[in-house]
Amino acid sequence: MPKVLILNGPNLNLLGCREPNIYGSTSLDDLETILRSNIPPGMQLSFFQTNHEGEMIERIHRLIEAPVQGVVINPAAWTHTSVAIRDALIAINTPLVEVHISNIHAREAFRRHSYVSDIALAVIAGCGIQGYAFALETLNQHLKG
Ligand code: CA2
């Protein structure tokens, strides 16, 4: 049974209560419920969100001892800033899909660069929270070979 970990970076705990024009009106808890009710058959999901970069890095490191078969990550602002998150993701050597709720290419110029995209199996941006479901489907297809 493939295990997939869904990681969400800083400020995504505010989903559904601020900036609904950009990020929609679904909360992070609701997103978890929606994804759990539509999981590709046989997939086992876990979720983690933090506003602290070191906590995110340590959560990624735990995958060395307790591996999963796939990672979905919305690194949020760390997408554009964090070599440390990139290095941690490289270290776990696990297929990952990068998700952004908004289209990062249609916003400020600084959002166009990602430290994660070139180490990802796929990048999904601008599909709203449905991007997470697309990411699970992408991993599912990849894991089935
Ligand atoms: O579009 C995305 O998913 C982003 O990863 C979201 C990040 C942003 O820094 C990236 O450039 C693109 C920001 C997350 C902030 O989340 C909020 C959610 C609701 C209200 C306020 C912030």
Nearest CA to ligand 1 atom 5: 76
Residue 115: active-site member? no
Instruction: Kindly state the percentage of the chain with pLDDT values over 70.
Output: 100
Residue 23: active-site member? yes
pLDDT digits (tens, 9 = 90+) for 17-71: 988 999 999 999 999 999 999 999 999 999 999 999 999 999 999 999 999 999 9
C-alpha 85/C-alpha 97 separation (Å) is 14
**Residue 18's pLDDT is what?**
84
Cα-flanking dihedrals φ and ψ of residue 51, to 5°? -100, 5
Q: Determine if ligand 1 sits within 6 Å of the CB of residue 6.
A: no
C-alpha 121/C-alpha 1 separation (Å) is 20
